[in-house]
Structure 1
């Protein structure tokens, strides 16, 4: 399950936006968010690069955790 650091993700609204961005690519994706560490773990059939691109299009920069 790839994990990504999303430094600007600080609240429930952010978490929802990031989850929605990932699930736009793969509706069945399992997304686990830890706001305290600002990380997101994703179980999905989508490639990691596509997941990162979707999150960044939603306005959140991503770094590999």
Structure 2
């Protein structure tokens, strides 16, 4: 699944985003593109769980 995260602008943001997602699914893999401000996630978690986890860490994620 892919998400647009407008306020993910740097490597530190990527680390926070990955940690939030891994809190929902420790086996998730996350590929981030800070220029496009998008992530691609391979996970067994549902979209709403990912969005909620990111929101809890201050990141607004829009599914693409």
Assess if the C-alpha contact under 8 Å between 2:47 and 2:63 holds in 1: no
Counterpart Cα distance in 2 of 1:48 and 1:57: 14
Q: Does 1:37 align with 2:36?
A: yes
Task: State the partner residue of 1:54.
Answer: 53
Counterpart Cα distance in 2 of 1:19 and 1:26: 10
Unaligned runs of 5+ in 2: none
Counterpart Cα distance in 1 of 2:51 and 2:31: 15
Q: TM-score, normalised by structure 1?
A: 0.94
What is the count of residue pairs matched by the alignment? 64
Q: What's the offset of the Cα at 1:62?
A: 1.2
Q: Does 1:17 align with 2:4?
A: no
Moved over 2 A (4+): none
**In angstroms, what is the RMSD of aligned CA positions?**
0.7
Unaligned runs of 5+ in 1: none
Q: TM-score, normalised by structure 2?
A: 0.95
